[in-house]
């Protein structure tokens, strides 16, 4: 993760613009004086820089929760803040100039708001969850130019590697998203996806609730797949294969194909390594046989007036409230000019969303963007709305 080790953190007069980067406000953790968040606006990205103060030095890096799509904007924001505050940098892994021209030119990297506001549904789509090196994803996109591919990945080096190849190969039918694939599926319109690839997912043997394959994921896959569309799981983990098979077969009606050590047109570097180790490769392929109803999600994320005092809101810090089908956890509280800010997790227990809520005067708003519009998130929002409205 990009970061600067600095001699001492220095504040600035907010708001201020430096080298085209806007630093809008600062938020201070009410329980931990060593943590601060700096709100940044850079082109279309809004995110926080995180300050962690230590004895004799401080760390300045991007906030993981609001990390934007553009790594270029993160690099520029870090260096621009250091310049604006006249900070002495002790150590850095941030390049002074963007070395990879491909990352500046590429437009394939999208954030979730792009899909939430205008989901591309004018042609068949294929989705790859956790594309790793991108070898399979790039091969498929190059050989199927009339199909739109969406690659979902959270590992930054893998994302940058694929973005570079998109630019070099001039691919215009491939979009990349850094997001939780389980949440993304809830946005996809029904009956438009030809294939969903889940190749060599992390087994999560000690944390099975984090696995991609689940009853809910299979239900969403069946909804978004066209009739005849396929969900393809490919894994080298016998435990993951066994777990997935049991999860699939628990459905009352399902069409499955099982293969072992099947060769495919293109394999990842990890698969090549495992084959050399003579590990078994398992495939579970589900074929959708029914057309689904159109996706319907009603509601919005507007807030009523906030009627409870700020002191009462601060008392929520560290508490968790559960309700039918979901929860809200008030993770942290921050002071800002003319108000407070809460860091919360909300939604379903299996797929929570993490974000910030800013409260000034009697108004509340999400930062940097709305939650994903899903049933569980809308239910959680209504619960939060009731708490703040009083």
Given a cut of 80, is residue 106 above it in pLDDT? no
Q: According to the CATH classification, is domain 103-287 in 3.40.50.150?
A: yes
Q: What is the mean pLDDT of the chain?
A: 91
- For a pLDDT cut of 90, what percent of the chain falls above it? 71
Task: Please state the pTM of the whole predicted model.
Answer: 0.79
pLDDT digits (tens, 9 = 90+) for 169-196: 999 999 999 989 998 998 899 999 999 9
State whether the Cα torsion 247-250-254-256 is positive or negative.
positive
For residue 51, which of 82, 16, 21, 73 has the smallest C-alpha distance?
Answer: 82
Residue 102 pLDDT level (bands cut at 50, 70, 90): low
Given a cut of 80, is residue 70 above it in pLDDT? no
Arithmetic mean of pLDDT, 225-232: 98
- For a pLDDT cut of 70, what percent of the chain falls above it? 97
Residue 221 and residue 185 in contact, taking contact as beta carbons nearer than 8 Å: yes
Taking the C-alpha atoms of residue 69 and residue 59, their distance in angstroms, rounded to an integer, is: 22
Q: Is 347 left (phi over 0), alpha (psi -120 to 50) or beta?
A: left
């Amino acid at each position: 993760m990009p970061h600067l080790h600095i001699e001492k953190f220095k504040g600035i007069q907010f708001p201020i613009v430096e080298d085209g980067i806007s630093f809008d406000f600062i938020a201070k953790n009410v329980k931990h004086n060593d943590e601060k968040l700096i709100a940044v606006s850079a082109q279309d990205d809004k995110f926080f820089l995180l300050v962690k103060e230590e004895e004799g030095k401080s760390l300045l890096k991007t906030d993981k929760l609001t990390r934007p799509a553009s790594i270029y904007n993160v690099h520029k924001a870090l260096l621009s803040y250091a310049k604006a505050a006249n900070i002495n940098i002790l150590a850095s892994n941030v390049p002074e100039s963007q070395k990879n021209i491909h990352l500046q030119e590429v437009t394939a990297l999208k954030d979730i708001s792009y899909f939430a506001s205008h989901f591309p549904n004018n042609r068949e789509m294929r989705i790859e969850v956790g594309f790793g090196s991108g070898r399979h994803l790039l091969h498929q996109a190059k050989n199927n130019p009339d199909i739109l591919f969406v690659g979902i990945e959270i590992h930054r080096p893998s994302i940058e590697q694929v973005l570079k190849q998109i630019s070099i190969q001039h691919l215009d039918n491939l979009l990349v998203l850094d997001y939780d694939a389980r949440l993304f599926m809830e946005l996809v319109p029904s009956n438009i996806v030809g294939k969903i690839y889940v190749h060599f997912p992390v087994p999560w043997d000690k944390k099975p609730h984090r696995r991609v394959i689940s009853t809910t994921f299979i239900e969403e896959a069946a909804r978004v797949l066209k009739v005849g569309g396929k969900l393809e799981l490919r894994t080298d983990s016998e435990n993951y294969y066994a777990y997935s098979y049991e999860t699939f077969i628990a459905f009352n009606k399902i069409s499955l194909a099982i293969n072992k050590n099947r060769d495919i047109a293109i394999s990842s570097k990890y698969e090549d390594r495992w084959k050399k180790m003579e590990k078994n490769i398992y495939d579970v392929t589900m074929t959708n046989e029914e057309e689904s109803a159109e996706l319907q999600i009603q509601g919005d994320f507007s807030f009523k007036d906030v009627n409870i005092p700020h002191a009462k809101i601060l008392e929520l810090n560290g508490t968790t409230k559960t309700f039918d089908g979901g929860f809200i956890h008030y993770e942290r509280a921050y002071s800002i000019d003319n108000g407070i800010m809460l860091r919360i997790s909300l939604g379903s227990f299996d797929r929570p969303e993490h974000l910030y809520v800013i409260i000034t005067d009697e108004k509340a708003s999400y930062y940097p963007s709305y939650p994903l519009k899903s049933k569980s998130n809308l239910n959680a929002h209504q619960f939060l709305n009731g708490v703040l409205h009083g």
